[in-house]
Amino acid sequence: MASSTNIKVVCRFRPVNSIETREGGEIVVAFDDNLQTVQVKSAQVSTGPEKDGFTFDRVFPMGTKQNEIFEYGVKDIVKDVLDGYNGTVFAYGQTGSGKTFTMMGADIDSDELKGIIPRITEQIFQSIVESDPHLEYLVKVSYMEIYLEKIRDLLAPQNDNLQVHEEKSRGVYVKGLSDYYVSSAREVYEIMRTGGAARVVTSTNMNAESSRSHSIFLITIQQRNTETGTQKTGNLYLVDLAGSEKVGKTGASGQTLEEAKKINKSLSALGMVINALTEKAKHIPYRDSKLTRILQESLGGNSRTTLIINCSPSSYNEAETLSTLRFGIRAKSIKNTARVNAELSPLELKGLLQKAQLANTSYQKHIAALEAELAIWRSGGHVDEAEWVLTGKGGAAPPKKAPTSPTPSASIPSSRSMTPVNPVIEGLRDLESRPQTPTVVALEKDEREEFLRRENELSDSLAEKESALTAAEKLVKELKEELAFLKEQEASVNQENKQMSTKLNELRLQVERLDYEAKEGNITIETLREQNNDTTAELDTLKKQIADLKLAQKDASADDREKRKQEKMAMMMAKFDTQGAFSEKDEQLRQLLTKLDNMDNEAAGSLSSDDLIAIRRQLAEGQTVLRETLDRLRQSQEETEMVIRRRDELDARVVQLEADYEELLEKTIRDEESGDAESIQDFKNKLEAQYAAKRDAHLSEVADLKQQLEMRVNEIRALNSTIDSLKSVNEELKVSPKFSLI
């Protein structure tokens, strides 16, 4: 059973928001008492038919509760869907006009704020509970969105490029869309939350949570009568359209701008479809957009549709409000032909089969009679008019063969024109019939099925190509990113290469400079080696001089002893001891003085007392001088031994310095080879400074030693000369005539 009805259009105005208040917007709409007509205070509608307002099935002013929208605008559709009709509810309007609030609500768990979809869900399950016991229901839901002109399954987001198909038995549907069987409103709410979380939402200047896609929530209800076996299927499309946008107001840019372009394009295609349906055009451009293709049955097809247009009452959005109202007026004139989607029970199918078999038997008899009559005519015979096979008299007996006569010139009724029309077959055709997609050229039944099959194949092929294209675009994007990264790396490597080349050139210059300095260093080292050899030779010369001085000192001492009466000196020195060197000589002098005192009494006339006193004094002074001279000689010998020891120490130090110098040279060569030493110039300066300092110190010490040694030798010579003179004086005293008596 089919019924033709217009699309039901209701208009809802939301309250003024903060943006409109900030921009100084004023309320420019007024409503009549019946809440069916809205007037806009605007210069654009001051003339023409729009000056009297826009009339809809119902107008809901600002502040209308969610429940009021549902009770008037949507509640009846639920009953129709349960009875096997297709139904559609969709919200249309500019961005930020309250479409999502109307369809979903601010909170699906709140009795006051939940939207149309939660209320429909509750009513469906409530109606199922209250239905007759012999009716069984099966409810399943699907959730999808159209984002950037691609159909995306919100319950399986990885399926983001689904295709629209059409079959005679199913009508228009989305292939590959996942569906879930549900048994309560709570299960539907969970699915709604899951799908809602996957929707694409972005903040714009007009709406903090602007939907960037059209969402479609599909509820399929299958009803089965357990007594008769008949089945009915109703599909309810709940559509939340994305809002039309003006870029100047929303401030969209980048990806948001691309989304706005696609949204406006699909809404424009929807407007073109409604215009074509309003003007009763031969071609309806359903295929211009995925949105209009899915809503094909809802717009002029097999569906009972309710359109909710959402508007702003403020003058800030006056142009958008007028556009929305005009859209609603055009949509209100569209007629849909809704049919019950029923499947016959087995008993009904059996009755139809029996009727078809009886009709087939009648047709076979009629065909046999016609063939017999035709054979007579072809053989040249004649059949009386009373014996002709008439329409509807298939059971008549074949006519008798008449004498041959010329074939009559009168036209023979064709079998097609005489074929009876079977009302049972026509009934089957009516049951199978459904509103067809309007096309430019009317297609036969078989051609249409072939066309739909081919279209589905092409849609699948297109989906595969689009998937491949998407994968290729993704690959190209990745390759571009990789190429950009490689270019950056190449630029970085080139920069590093330039830096390394500069450093390499600098290092080459440094190597050349170091080679030059190394050569200079080698020359300097050779020079230092020569200087070292010269210094070593000079040290050897000094050693020889010191040895010669020692020998000269020894020779001088020997010569002096030989010249100064070595034998007497040896005898005198042999009698010396460490406590008193002249103890024996003092005793002899005492004895001599005693003898002289004894001789004073005996030979007083020979020596005067003054002479004796003078002799005693001279002897005592000579003894004292001799003792002091011997002490000085002993000290000089000790100092000479000390100088000799110091000289030996200096010789050992010279040897150590030579060893240190050789070790330093070896270390310098090793450091130069390993590259760990300082620069050759610094090393050369340090080495020369150290060597010069050591050489100066050594030469200074050698000069001091020479000077000290020479002074000691001179002192020793002077002391030896003094000793010799004292000894000669002593000898002279001994041989003097005054001591003849001794």
Binding residues for ATP: 93-100
The H or E element that residue 175 is part of is strand 171-175
Tokens representing 679 are 């620069």
For residues 340 and 264, is the Cβ–Cβ distance under 8 A? no
**Binding residue positions:** 93-100
Q: Are strands 135-147 and 87-93 parallel, antiparallel or unpaired?
A: unpaired
- Quote the CA–CA distance of 424 and 262 in Å, as a whole number: 50
Give the start-end residues of each E strand in 253-349: 304-311, 335-339, 342-343
Phi-psi region of 345 (alpha: psi -120 to 50; beta: other; left: phi over 0): beta
By residue count, the chain amounts to 742
- Quote the CA–CA distance of 29 and 45 in Å, as a whole number: 12
DSSP assignments along 703-716, one per residue = HHHHHHHHHHHHHH
DSSP assignments along 628-652, one per residue = HHHHHHHHHHHHHHHHHHHHHHHHH
Which CB contacts under 8 angstroms, 24+ apart, belong to 587-595? 589/619, 589/623, 592/742, 595/742
Tokens representing 166 are 């059409």
Query: Could you tell me how far CA 1 lies from the centroid of its own chain?
Result: 61
- Four-residue CA torsion sign, 625, 628, 634, 639: negative
Q: Which of 301, 229, 311, 243 is nearest to 61 (CA)?
A: 311
- Quote the CA–CA distance of 664 and 658 in Å, as a whole number: 10
Amino acid (one-letter) located at 34: N
The H or E element that residue 672 is part of is helix 609-674
- Quote the CA–CA distance of 365 and 223 in Å, as a whole number: 42
